[in-house]
Amino acid sequence: MDINAKIFELVDYLDNKMNEDNNSLKQRIEYVNTKWDNMSDEKLEDSDRTLLALVAIDICLKISEFENAKKWIDIYLHKEEYRPTICFHLGELEFHKGNFKEAYELFKEAQEISRNRELQGREEYLDLVKNPSKYFSN
């Protein structure tokens, strides 16, 4: 089985599972981490790794598995150079960790560089940029 097929197998294993309980999601992430870690390094060169990473990030953030979320963010961002995308994903992690000042700075940078496109449709994160005083005081 080639790398791409293995990646899609893992995507299928995680996809549409957000409604499962946290213990089931944690087990799914552990399974995917083990399978991913045992794949050859060429996995990082397969662009479809980003599909897997996005699903894994969402699940990890939902169940507050921040170390795993960071791992999958790093996988997603492998060789990424577009600063707004980098800032968005790092800001998303900080937001869920409750580090609102850090998240605000990252989201603000993403918004400025992308001319307000990076957070479009992401109301929860936009609210932080538009109303930072709701999240922290000076």
Number of domains in the chain: 2
Give 100-112 pLDDT, tens digit per residue.
999 999 999 999 9
Query: For 16-25, 77-86, 94-103, 129-138, which range has the lowest pLDDT when averaged over its residues?
Result: 129-138
Burial per residue of 6-32, b for 16 or more beta-carbon CB atoms within 10 angstroms, e otherwise: bbbebbeebeeeeeeeeeebbebbeeb
Averaged pLDDT, 24-49: 97
Indicate if 110 and 125 belong to the same structural domain.
yes
pTM: 0.93
Does residue 91 contact residue 107 with C-beta atoms inside 8 Å? yes
Indicate if 47 and 13 belong to the same structural domain.
yes
Indicate if 100 and 130 belong to the same structural domain.
yes
